[in-house]
Chain A
Amino acid sequence: MRTLCPFLLNRYVITFGSIAVLVAAWNVYVAMNNDGVITGRVVGPDGRPVAGATVLLSERSLLVSTVRARALTDAEGAFRFSGHRLYHLYLEAEKEGMGRQAPTEFRLYFKGQNLVLREPLHLTPGK
């Protein structure tokens, strides 16, 4: 054990060992949070939940925007996507007669990261 300690406590082992531990921890975190679930709410101009609004999940490349999924809000104004594999995405919401929320950018740290929207999507009339 005494002969093993100096070998284990040199700066090379400590540095590369710490990096290995960090990488392992990050991979565990990714594995536990990459279900691709996005949840959030849609509210109207008055701040009340909007039921039946369409929420679009899209991805933009250099030239085009491609819709990857769509969802309808429930009576609480809540929506949910699952199984997305994006790390840079846009969400927009719309309901006829209520208004629209322009595409809002969301960036994630890895593909399929679970996302809970802190702020609801706001529908604004006339946009």
Chain B
Amino acid sequence: MQHYLRWPVHLLLAVVSLLMLVPFLWVFKTSLTGENIFVYPPALLPRNPHLYYYVDVWYAIPFFRYLMNSVFVSALVVAANIVFNAMAGYALSREFLGKRAVIVLFLSCMMIPFQVTIIPAYLITRGLGLLNSYLGMALPLFSTIVCIFVFKASFDAIPSSLIDAARIDGAPDWKIILRILMPLSKSAIATNVILAFIWSWNNFLWPLIIIRDQEMQTLPLGLSRFLSVVEDTTGALYAFCVMVLLPGLLVFLLAQREFIAGLTRGAAKG
């Protein structure tokens, strides 16, 4: 009976999933054929596919350099997010005076868009002498409030008796985080890795403001430069999009199981 009720739901979900994949298929198909997206009649499968648009992208701009810049900045952001967010999440999962005020402050800060704080952020980065540097690009994303709360929810779900036992054994706070909480929070770590990576990977406005040298540009900036270099953009532009999308997609697919567990962790607490 249960199977009879489930299969139509699964069928519907499968159809909806396939519909969600159509834009991705369209981008991939155009990157292989270069045909106009408004061509009629539209074809779902590529006709005479080839990979030459990818070659055009590779040579039209210093793609490898931009890729390495993006990878380096994203790696910095991911590492910093795990360290700082875990520490902040641990602090918020403990009891201290003014905890509610700090949480309210964090939540209210989430409502302020980055564009509003971009001038102070620029002035601070300039004051630190980090303009036109990898560290300067990564700094505003070193800790994100959403990810702090992901860690907090994960740490809250761990029985406090474990932490108390470690404390009785004389473990300092950093050891409790590193040896007890972090191994039990793999899903929170995966969520942090994915979100931090994707936010850093797609970041356009901040690098645009603080980067001066072409050598320091990341892939989103490279995309805007590419548009100014290549005239017939249809196929090559879509190939560029696929090349920029793939690393993020790969990270998400690899860590998706932990990511989904991380997002729902805490929801079932108690």
B56 pairs with A62, CB closer than 8 A: no
Distance between Cα atoms of A117 and B231 in the complex (Å): 28
Distance between Cα atoms of A109 and B231 in the complex (Å): 20
* Residues of chain B with a CB closer than 8 A to A11's CB: 254
Q: How many residue pairs, one in A and one in B, have C-beta atoms under 8 Å apart?
A: 19
B231 pairs with A62, CB closer than 8 A: yes
Interface residues of B (CB under 8 A from A): 50-52, 55-56, 59, 231, 250, 254
Instruction: Give chain A nearest CB distance to B231 CB in angstroms.
Output: 6
| A63 nearest CB neighbor, chain B only | B231
| B232 nearest CB neighbor, chain A only | A62
Does chain B have a CB within 8 A of A107?
yes
Does chain B have a CB within 8 A of A87?
yes
B254 pairs with A110, CB closer than 8 A: no
| A15 nearest CB neighbor, chain B only | B254
Cβ 8 A contact of B56, one of A12, A15, A88, A111? A88
Cβ 8 A contact of A15, one of B51, B55, B231, B250? B250
B55 pairs with A109, CB closer than 8 A: yes
* Residues of chain B with a CB closer than 8 A to A62's CB: 231
Instruction: Give chain B nearest CB distance to A62 CB in angstroms.
Output: 6
B55 pairs with A110, CB closer than 8 A: yes
Instruction: Give chain B nearest CB distance to A81 CB in angstroms.
Output: 19
Cβ 8 A contact of A107, one of B52, B231, B250, B254? B52
Cβ 8 A contact of A108, one of B55, B231, B250? B55
Distance between Cα atoms of A87 and B50 in the complex (Å): 14
Distance between Cα atoms of A88 and B232 in the complex (Å): 14
Instruction: Give chain A nearest CB distance to B151 CB in angstroms.
Output: 21
* Residues of chain B with a CB closer than 8 A to A107's CB: 50, 52, 55
Distance between Cα atoms of A110 and B64 in the complex (Å): 14
* Residues of chain B with a CB closer than 8 A to A88's CB: 52, 55-56
Distance between Cα atoms of A109 and B56 in the complex (Å): 9
Distance between Cα atoms of A37 and B51 in the complex (Å): 21
Chain A residues 89 to 121 lying within 8 A of chain B, measured CB to CB, are: 107-111
B59 pairs with A109, CB closer than 8 A: no
Q: What would be 8 A-B contacts, judged by CB atoms less than 8 Å apart? A: A11-B254, A15-B254, A87-B55, A87-B59, A88-B55, A88-B56, A108-B55, A110-B55
B254 pairs with A12, CB closer than 8 A: yes
The 8 closest A-B pairs by CB, nearest first: A107-B52, A62-B231, A87-B55, A109-B55, A87-B59, A12-B254, A11-B254, A15-B254
Distance between Cα atoms of A11 and B257 in the complex (Å): 12
| B255 nearest CB neighbor, chain A only | A12
